[in-house]
Structure 1
Amino acid sequence: MRWWKMLGLAGIMGVAATGVVIARAERRRRAYTPEEIRVRLRERVQDSQPEGRRS
């Protein structure tokens, strides 16, 4: 095979692998319930605030 064919096949495989990673992340993101999202956001906000400002 010529080098450009190998390069094309590698590119196609890279695109397919990227699609799999994106689909997996999307499935994981959509698996949260609204209450879980609220709890996680509140935790992130609380962790980002300085010690003196936490309530």
Structure 2
Amino acid sequence: MRNVWKWIGLAGVVGVTAGGVLVARDQRRRAAYTPNDIRARLHQRLADAERTERD
């Protein structure tokens, strides 16, 4: 039974580490955008939403 708890603990540590890696990757990707990139993406999303609304 003791071995089971070790594996569960190890799985928890691996899960937390993987989650941290995903968060860090997402932060880097978002930080790479310039304000003009963000503005252009928002305008594109608005145009797409308006086009979908008309259909």
Range into which the TM-score falls when normalised by the shorter chain: 0.7 to 0.9
What is the TM-score with the length of structure 2 in the denominator? 0.86
User: After the TM superposition, which segments of 4 or more aligned residues of structure 1 sit over 4 Å from their partners?
Assistant: none
Establish whether residue 38 from structure 1 lines up as the match of residue 16 from structure 2: no
Show the counterpart of 2:54: 51
| Matched residues, number | 52
Return the alpha-carbon distance in structure 1 between the equivalents of residues 33 and 11 of structure 2: 35
Q: Structure 2 matches for 1:8-47, cutoff 5 A?
A: 8-47=9-48
Structure 2 unmatched ranges of 5 or more = none
Matched residues in 2 for 1:35 and 1:8: separation? Answer: 45
Deviations 1:2-55 (CA, angstroms, capped at 9, x unpaired): 100010000001000000001001100110000010000000011011238xxx
